[in-house]
Structure 1
Amino acid sequence: MHDGILIIKTGSTLPALRQQGDFEDWIRAAIAPISAWVVDVEKGQPLPAVEEPSAVIVTGSPAMVSQRLPWSEQTAAWLAEAVAAATPILGICYGHQLLAHALGGRAGPNPNGREIGTVRVELNAAQARRDPLFEELPADFAAHVTHEESALKLPDSAVRLAYNGHEQNHAFRVGSSAWGVQFHPEFNAAITRGYIFHKRHDLYRERLAALDILRSVTETPHATRLLSRFAHMFVSP
Structure 2
Amino acid sequence: MRIAVLELTSHPLPLLDGMPRTAQQIQAWIAPHLPEADFDVVGVVDGEPLPNDNDFDGVIVGGSEFGVYDVTQWMQPLRTFLERCRETRKAVFGICFGHQIMADVYGGRAEKAEVGKVVGARPFNFGGDNVDAFVWHQDQVTRVPSSARVAGSASHCPVGALDYDFPARSVQFHPEYRVDHLRDLFTRGRGDLLSPAEADAGMSSVSSAKVSDDLAAFQAVELFRGTYVPE
TM-score, normalised via structure 1 length: 0.81
- Per-residue deviation, 1:185: 0.7
Letter in 2 for 1:84: E
- Per-residue deviation, 1:150: 1.2
SS of the residue corresponding to residue 65 of structure 2 reads coil
Q: Relative to structure 2, which stretch is displaced further, 28-37 or 179-188?
A: 28-37
In 1, the alpha carbon distance for the partners of 2:27 and 2:144 equals 28
- Per-residue deviation, 1:139: 1.2
- 1:198 aligns with one of 185, 188, 202: 188
SS of the residue corresponding to residue 169 of structure 1 reads strand
Unmatched 5+ residue regions in structure 2?
none
Distance 1:14 1:91, change over 3 A: farther
- Structure 1 partner of 2:4: 6
- 1:185 aligns with one of 156, 175, 180: 175
- 1:152 aligns with one of 120, 142, 155: 142
Q: Could you tell me whether the CA contact under 8 Å between 1:204 and 1:210 is conserved in 2?
A: no
- Structure 1 partner of 2:20: 21
- 2:102 aligns with one of 93, 99, 102: 99
Q: Could you tell me whether the CA contact under 8 Å between 1:6 and 1:55 is conserved in 2?
A: yes
Please state which structure has a larger fraction of its residues in strand: 2
Task: For residues 154-189 of structure 1, give each alpha carbon's deviation from its aligned partner in whole angstroms, at most 9, with x where no partner exists.
Answer: 212111101111011111022232011110111111
* Percent identity of paired positions between Structure 1 and Structure 2: 25
- Per-residue deviation, 1:109: 0.7
RMSD, matched Cα: 2.6
Letter in 1 for 2:61: V
- Per-residue deviation, 1:210: 4.7
Q: For 1:116-155, list aligned pairs within 5 A.
A: 116-123=119-126, 125=127, 139-155=129-145
In 2, the alpha carbon distance for the partners of 1:223 and 1:112 equals 24
- Structure 1 partner of 2:221: 229
- Per-residue deviation, 1:216: 3.0
- Per-residue deviation, 1:75: 0.2
SS of the residue corresponding to residue 217 of structure 2 reads helix
Distance 1:96 1:83, change over 3 A: same
Task: For residues 6-36 of structure 1, give each alpha carbon's deviation from its aligned partner in whole angstroms, at most 9, with x where no partner exists.
Answer: 1111123564445231111112212223320
In 1, the alpha carbon distance for the partners of 2:115 and 2:154 equals 12
Distance 1:28 1:230, change over 3 A: farther
- Per-residue deviation, 1:81: 1.4
